[in-house]
Amino acid sequence: MRKSYRVKTEQDFQKVFQAGNSFANRKFVVYVLPKEQSHFRVGLSVGKKVGNAVKRNEIKRKIRASLTEMKPRIEPAVDFIVIARPSIATCSSKEIYSNLEHVLKLAKIIH
């Protein structure tokens, strides 16, 4: 993911949290905020309850890889935040992909 596809600032995160809608499953919580823009932006949050820094970065890499695969199907006019729940620590890449796909379908971000 290029930097232009990321929600980076604390201010942008807070806008999505406060004005957006949330959707969840057992592994992820997603906050969605529709916006007028040419492509989607995503923010990732993996808390310390998931594991140490190495484990958290591994989870973020797997989430980014899943989002890159789904990129053509993702609605372009949204900002969204993906929050990983602690139970994600034991999941494989395929499980992360399927759970992420499920929650993004709930949020109507992918078709």
pLDDT digits (tens, 9 = 90+) for 74-83: 988 899 999 9
Asked whether residue 1 carries a pLDDT value surpassing 70, the answer given is: no
Output the pLDDT for position 4: 77
Answer whether residue 111 is part of any domain.
no
Per-residue pLDDT tens over the stretch 47-76: 999 999 999 999 999 999 999 999 999 988
Answer whether residue 2 is part of any domain.
no
Asked whether residue 37 carries a pLDDT value surpassing 90, the answer given is: no
CATH number of the domain residue 43 falls in: 3.30.230.10
Per-residue pLDDT tens over the stretch 8-31: 889 989 999 899 899 999 999 999
Residues 6+ apart with CB under 8 A from 22: 29, 30, 31, 32
45-81 burial code (b ≥16 CB/10 A, e <16): ebeeebbeeeebebbbebbbebbeeeeeebbeebbbb
**Number of separate domains in the chain:** 1
Answer whether residue 62 is part of any domain.
yes
Helix axes of 53-70 and 93-106: crossing angle, nearest 10 degrees:
60
Output the pLDDT for position 93: 94
Segments forming the whole domain that contains residue 68: 8-105
